[in-house]
Chain A
């Protein structure tokens, strides 16, 4: 059974940093692309970033230059380093796994809440 477990969320001041982690199990992690999707309170889903199995990275314009996605295939873990956080980055952050066809997303974590506030 595929399991994705996010961690690292919390309260941070504007301009601060956080690193989210997504621990994966139940599948061959290195063979799949992974994605971060966020959802601001009361809002819809927003695609944030993706990383392919061979480390190609993609970013939404809203986070480009501030967020960095990475993965450690030896630890079956994906990360999202978030710098220069803004109030509008406040959201539940979900990690998700690509389908074999490299399209999003057949499994999702439970999410971790990031609150950016002074």
Chain B
């Protein structure tokens, strides 16, 4: 059971938009920066969003992040088939003093 809760799967058609939620608590999401990662099949995770809503160089602005209270959200617009991947949120838990990830969300672009 992951400390952070994500929906197991989401799906949408090409060109549409989707959001992925990440629910935590006051000791993790509520207190610390949230990052989002994309993992394509058979590859290492890749940073998509850091410090709740910032995009690393090279990440298109179709990807966005937000945080409110103890929940964070990843948004993806203009879906492409190449966006099919597993998406994870992650942060630090100040009470447990460990890093924590969500269980991952599989995005299917129909």
Contacts and interface: CB of A to CB of B under 8 A. Distances in A.
Contacts of A67: none
A103 B93 CA distance: 11
A101 B33 contact: yes
Interface residues of A, number: 24
Best-buried of A47, A50, A109 by chain B (most CB within 10 Å): A47
B44 A101 contact: no
Interface in A72-118: 94, 96, 99, 101, 103-111
Q: Identify which of A35, A46, A108 gathers the most chain B CB atoms within 10 Å of its CB.
A: A108
A60 interface: yes
How many B residues are at the interface, by size bracket? 20 to 34
B101 A45 contact: yes
B99 interface: yes
A44 interface: yes
B33 A103 contact: yes
A57 B100 CA distance: 15
Contact of B101 (A46, A50, A106): A46
A59 B45 contact: no
Given A45-B90, A105-B35, 7 more contacts: A45-B39, A45-B45, A47-B99, A58-B97, A61-B98, A104-B99, A106-B47
Interface of B: 2, 32-33, 35, 37, 39, 44-47, 50-51, 56, 86, 88, 90-92, 97-104
